[in-house]
Structure 1
Amino acid sequence: MVRTPLTPEERERGERFGRLLREARGDRSMTQVAASAGISPETLRKIETGRAPTPAFFTVAALARALDLSMDELADRCAPAAPPLAPPLVPPVAA
């Protein structure tokens, strides 16, 4: 199966997620956090460095649990900044 290339936005989101995990991990080792989440330290390393920008849902959930983060917090902190609102697409009313 051929995977569709990631968009720049998806890559950027993965990098934000990796930074968030590193911050939340603090002084705990990758090995400790990975073991707590039930993943390999190499998987955690790839996620933290952005080389695995779209980890599986259950991997994200396990990391959130291991780092005492809520899924809502992860989603909010990893979401891109909201683009400016476009004007409504309502046709002008004829007089």
Structure 2
Amino acid sequence: MVRLPLTPDEIERGQRLGALLRRARGDRSMLTTALDAGVSPETLRKIESGRVATPAFPTIAAIADVLGLSLDEVWAQIRPTSDAGLAEARPA
């Protein structure tokens, strides 16, 4: 399977996700966080560094859960700025 190159928006979103996870992890070790989330430390390192800009949903859900982040909170922090106005315009 050929993977298409990432768009600039996907790369930027991956960088925002990595920064969010690093901040949420704080002083907690990467090893402990990764193992508690059921992912390899290498995977977590790549996500936090932005090298994996589009990680699988279950991976992000598991890491967010370990760090006490809601998925809504994660999306609010990483979504493209052009999506911000769309969320407000949608009916509840």
- CA shift for structure 1 position 82: 2.6
TM-score of the superposed pair, with normalisation by structure 1 = 0.85
Size of the aligned set, in residue pairs, is: 84
Alpha-carbon RMSD = 1.3
> Separation in 2 of the partners of 1:31 and 1:80?
30
Cα offsets for 1:70-90 (capped at 9, x unmatched): 00000000012237x8xxxxx
2:53 matched residue in structure 1: 53
Alignment of 1:1-95 (within 5 A): 1-82=1-82
List, as ranges, runs of 4+ consecutive aligned residues in structure 1 with deviation greater than 2 Å.
none
Larger radius of gyration: 1
The structure that is helix-richer by fraction is 2
Contiguous gaps of at least 5 residues in structure 2: 86-92
